[in-house]
Amino acid sequence: MDTPTQGILGAVVAQAICGRKLPRSAWLIGMAGGIAADLDLLIRTSSDLLGGLTYHRHFAHAVPFIPLGALLVALPFVFWPAFRGKRWWVLAASGLAYATHGLLDACTSWGTLLWWPFSEARVAWDIIGIIAPVFTVVLLVGLVWSVLARRRRVASAALGIGLLYLGLGFVQHQRAAGVQCQLAQMRGQRIERGRVLPSPLNLILWRSIYEADGQLYADSIRVPFFGGATVWMGTSTPRVTLEDLEAEVPLDASVRAAFERFSWFADGYTAYDASAPGVVGDMRYGLRPDEFVSMWGLQLPERGRGGKAKFMHMPAHREGLSRLWPRLLGRDPQFKPLPTPASQ
């Protein structure tokens, strides 16, 4: 989730729970706690094969790191004279806010090392977009109202509405996942593994991607809040694995390590980018299901030549809002109802 939303959520949680003991200041501590984990973006090393992304949503977002993170956030506040006698409440506010960060990030599709160091699995529940303006605005309005009016219950109400929005995302995700299963059945396939990911800004449009028989299949699924689902049926492309690359030509150890790291980051949804020769892209993301064009990828060195693999952000292929609104409103002719069993 974007950093401002993380800060706002932390502030709302702290204000709702600790606002009675820390009037007018709980939200400030909570905002600092909600933002702090994203300071891992500043960690840059020469050995980072993902251009600075390796340590983002890494140890600083993990559940076992919460006590230390909360303590570090609280330190600038606990020594203020204004908080004398209330330092445990300062720690509580910073701890609650810090805890929200990794959990909220896990609700998105990016992936978060929630259980590090016990596991390096990237936890992603896929129930809300990385940018969710409805969620953010509800929390922001509740926070401002609560602080200005000195009404802690307003923050509690905003938090409750935010949780309901996440619950709605879960329901929509389950509906989209059901449509994905129907698509695979229509094609006579067994899904080996699959994801349905919310598109930015909304809970109506979902990107379906799954693997079957070594191919990645992408579709766009529209699940309105009322009414049946429609689908823009996409295409497929071979999944690219380390074994595939080494079958073409022996890989340098550094290239092998770079690909393994990139595949871990992309949850294994790796394929050649249709817009850039020699680039293996992260196919979890894309607005069009009929073309495999990634937002970022790994540029491989030319076959038979030396060189290193390079992580790169691809040129913008995002479509404008003018293309998004017809899809949200159900006016895009590419979206059609799923065929019924009798009509197949």
Q: Which phi and psi (to 5°) does residue 45 adopt? A: -130, 155
Residue with tokens 């445990």: 88
- Going by the DSSP 8-state scheme, the letter that residue 20 receives in this structure is T
Give the chain's domain count. 2
Query: Is the separation of the CB atoms in 115 and 123 below 8 Å?
Result: yes
The reply to whether 57 falls in a domain is yes
CA distances from 252 to 15, 266, 279, 302, 309 (A): 53, 21, 16, 12, 10
Q: How many CA atoms lie within 13 A of 265 on its CB side?
A: 25
Residues paired with 336 in a beta bridge: 231
Please list, residue by residue across 26-39, b when 16 or more beta carbons sit within 10 angstroms of its beta carbon and e when fewer do.
bbbbbbbbbbbbbe
The CA distance from 13 to 265, in Å, is 30
* Residues 6 or more apart whose Cβ sits within 8 Å of residue 258: 49, 298, 308, 309, 311
Assigned token pair, 240: 């690219």
Write down the pTM of the prediction: 0.89
Is 156 inside any structural domain?
no
Q: What's the token pair of residue 36?
A: 């702090």
Whole-angstrom distance, CA of residue 69 vs CA of residue 251: 40
Which of these three, 92, 125, 158, is where a domain ends?
Answer: 125
Residues 6+ apart with CB under 8 A from 310: 298, 299
User: Domain for residue 338, yes or no?
Assistant: no
- Whether residue 171 contacts residue 178, with contact meaning beta carbons closer than 8 Å, is answered with no
What is d(CA 211, CA 291) in angstroms, rounded to the nearest whole number?
Answer: 16
Q: Would you tell me how many other CB atoms lie within 10 Å of the CB of residue 278?
A: 14
DSSP secondary structure string for all residues of 292-312:
---SEEEEPPPTTS----EEE
Is residue 204 within 8 A of residue 172, CB to CB? The reply is yes
Full pLDDT tens readout for the chain, 344 residues: 789 999 999 999 999 999 888 877 889 999 999 999 988 877 766 666 666 667 677 888 999 999 999 999 999 888 887 777 888 999 999 999 999 999 999 999 988 999 999 998 999 999 999 889 999 999 999 999 999 998 999 999 999 999 999 999 999 999 999 999 999 999 999 999 999 999 888 999 999 999 999 999 999 999 999 989 999 999 999 999 999 888 877 778 888 888 998 999 999 999 999 888 889 999 998 778 888 988 888 988 876 566 788 888 877 555 555 677 777 777 788 899 987 654 44
Evaluate whether residue 186 is within a structural domain. no
Say if 190 falls within a structural domain.
Answer: no
Return d(Cα 293, Cα 300) in angstroms, integer: 16
For the segment 152-194, what is each residue's pLDDT rounded down to a tens digit? 999 999 999 999 999 999 999 999 999 999 999 999 999 999 9
Domain boundary among 76, 101, 125: 125
Range of the domain at 17: 3-125
- Residue (of 313, 310, 253, 309) closest to 282 by Cα position: 313
Residue ending a domain, choose from 69, 100, 125? 125
Nearest to 199 by CA among 334, 308, 93, 318: 318
